[in-house]
Amino acid sequence: MRRGQTFAVLLVAVLVIAIVITLVWFSRQTPSGASGMKGQTTYGAALERAKEVECLNNLQQIRTAIQAYAATNGSNPPTLSAASLPSGVQPVCPVTKAPYTYDATTGMVKCPQHPKF
């Protein structure tokens, strides 16, 4: 009786491990041909959102630098590099590496990849 019970526990443990491995494997896979966040796994959607937050943070720091430049000099900076950006902040989208669009007359800076920001 004891030998049969041990074997049953071993089978249950192997089954639980197989289920966990399967869940981890499929949660990291993203379906091919998925556009945007539609059809992505939870992991993929969270990763995409993290990249968007990084871009939004970049834009907020750049906008703060533009406001500081305008307060000091009385006008908007002619280029983003003239705005004395904080260290580590680049005038490009961290997701696509596409340069941000900047209008010196209005002081508006936007990301071509994330237009809602």
- Looking at residue 29, what is its pLDDT? 61
Domain with 105 in it = 42-117
- Looking at residue 99, what is its pLDDT? 92
- Checking if the pLDDT of 33 tops 70, the result is no
- Looking at residue 94, what is its pLDDT? 84
CA proximity to 79, closest of 57, 56, 111, 105: 105
* Across 1-6, average pLDDT: 66
Total of domains in the chain = 1
- Looking at residue 74, what is its pLDDT? 93
Rounded distance between C-alpha atoms, residue 19 and residue 17, angstroms: 5
- Looking at residue 5, what is its pLDDT? 74
- Looking at residue 28, what is its pLDDT? 66
H-only helix segments in 1-117: 2-27, 42-73
